[in-house]
Structure 1
Amino acid sequence: MSNIRVLLVDDHDMVRLGVRTYLLTEPDVEIVGEANSGELGVELVQQVKPDVVLMDLVMGGIDGVQATREVLAVYPQTKVLVLTSYLEDEKVLPALEAGASGYLLKTVLGDELAIAIRKVFHGETVLEPQVAAKVVANLQKPKPVAPVTDLLTEREMDVLRLIGQGMTNQQIGETLYIGIKTVKTHVSNILAKLSVEDRTQAAILAIRKGWVDGESKKG
């Protein structure tokens, strides 16, 4: 079996040194690169294509949350394992929402870190117990239903209103003075954001909710 290829992203040299020194003792782990910033981390991911990225959260430039999004955008095959000193809600939940497969504190023991790397590599989620408790608490909170205006952009609302009026993509494009490809992009975004499968369902939902009773903007 080939080694698990790991990229270290942390702006503290001593942290990277300590993590690298320990992981070099693990026979199935290979350090394929190091980055001292989120931006460099994203660049290196494209170059070395790691299996797992150990990601710090608070760094100069883009933070670890944004870096996680960009890493998974350019190389979705990799797994991001957050390794940070921060346990605040404003760090934990955004990191997981960005696609991180795990969240550990830097107080973790070396053998626990190695085990976590193997787990996320194999598709498991690894959370510090305190982090897991925060996730559970957040899931238990009642979620307010966002108004459609918070889900869709103004232009997507324009397109949705015209879909509700039964217009084709061609007619929508002519009405809003936009290209057919742009219309298709808006329609795809609308379906995804409203969690419906097709434009008919979107139109029914829009009419039922009263979202299509206004006049569409042009231009």
Structure 2
Amino acid sequence: MGKNGATNCPPPLDLTPLIDQVCRNNDQANLLLKDVRIVACFGSRALLVAFLGWTANHASVVGAATTEAEALQLVETHQPQMVLLSDRLEQGNGISLVQRIKGRWPQMHTILLICQEQRQHQIKAAIDACCDGILLESKLGLGMGVAALNAVGGGGIFIDKSLQEIFRRGHEHGAPIEPLTARELEVLALVAKGKGNSKIGSELYISADTVKTHLSNVMRKLQAQDRTQAAVIGLRWGLIDWPEMDWPR
């Protein structure tokens, strides 16, 4: 409950003027997920059924569940590239599921839907578990989902703007073991945006192999296990600015 007995619900929203935009966003999301193997785990059966009905390529969804234990079994069996899940599940907990997935398969992408942004302790636990994308369920269909898929699918990260202060909290004073060069910072900023090596090379007018060398140096200096963790560390320590996402039109 909020002040004066009000519940912590999102403000009312008339989506009628945005129907065309929502449909375009859905089409764009389907394109991004076209060749991605997915396990979906939502506590809401209605949301899970809606997701399955909305997904154009049904073969890409290799598993769907509403509980933590079922989802973990599906992930272990099918080894998907991406897991879409909500923090609230019928049994278990979405944040715990993220922690278990990332603990066993750190390269597997996870995108977490948050039902209540006031649950800061749990959100921080998901961030600390290196969840790749975190967004508010109330903003689905309005472009946030597409931006998250675009960033995470490219190897970057996505945190809803209203949650970014939680992301940075307690990590402002870290420092690399050696200073990053200006070029390394440019590469890291594009990694955080979800750009692949070839795209980064094209934007910076350098070869993909040179990008790979810069990334190796960045990961060594930040003591990161992979490019995604390097981007997370760079953002948390304020080495790079939060990326402006390419929103669908």
Match of 2:111 among 75, 81, 87: 81
Mapped partners of 1:117, 1:28: distance in 2: 17
- Quick check: 1:18 aligned with 2:67? no
Number of residues of Structure 1 aligned to a counterpart in Structure 2: 141
Equivalent residue in structure 2 for 1:104, among 120, 129, 135: 135
Partner Cα separation in structure 1 for residue 138 and residue 62 of structure 2: 23
Q: Deviations over 1:67-104 (max 9, x none)?
A: 11212233333111111212121121001112211111
What does residue 148 of structure 1 align with? none
Instruction: Supply the distance in 2 between the matched residues of 1:36 and 1:106 (Cα, whole angstroms).
Output: 16
SS at match of 2:163: helix
Q: Which residue among 33, 42, 55 is the counterpart of 2:85? A: 55
Percent identity over the alignment is 16
Listed one character per residue, the Cα deviations across residues 173-201 of structure 1 (whole Å, up to 9, x for unaligned) are: xxxxxxxxxxxxxxxxxxxxxx9xxxxxx
Query: Secondary structure of the residue that 2:80 maps to in structure 1?
Result: coil
Which ranges in structure 2 are unaligned for 5 or more consecutive residues?
1-31, 174-222, 224-249
Q: Deviations over 1:27-83 (max 9, x none)?
A: 699222111111111100011111111121122443112211212233333111111
CA distance 1:10–1:28, shift in 2 (3 Å): closer
Question: Higher relative CO (CA 8 A, sep ≥ 6), structure 1 or 2?
Answer: 2
Structure with larger Rg = 1
1:70 to 94, 97, 100: 100
| C-alpha distance in structure 2 between counterparts of 1:118 and 1:80, whole Å | 13
Superposition CA RMSD, Å: 2.8
Q: 1:45 aligns with which of 75, 81, 84?
A: 75
1:4 maps onto 2:53 in alignment: no
One-letter code aligned to 2:130: G
TM-score for the superposition, normalised by structure 2: 0.50
| Residue-by-residue CA offset, 1:112-150 (whole Å, 9 max, x unaligned) | 313412321221110111111222344359xxxxxxxxx
Aligned residue for 1:113? Answer: 145
Provide TM-score, normalisation by structure 1: 0.56
SS at match of 2:40: strand
The whole-number CA distance in structure 1 between the counterparts of 2:72 and 2:107 is: 13
Partner of 2:200: none
Residue 139 of structure 1: SS of its match in structure 2?
coil
Amino acid of the residue matched to residue 38 of structure 1? E
Residue 103 of structure 1 contacts residue 128 of structure 1 at CA under 8 Å; is this kept in 2? yes
User: What amino acid is aligned across from residue 12 of structure 1 in structure 2?
Assistant: S
Does 2:122 correspond to 1:91?
A: yes
**Contact persistence 1:52–1:117 (CA under 8 A):** no
Give the deviation of 1:9 after TM superposition. 0.7
Aligned with 1:83: secondary structure? strand
Q: How does 1:196-211 map to 2 (within 5 A)?
A: none
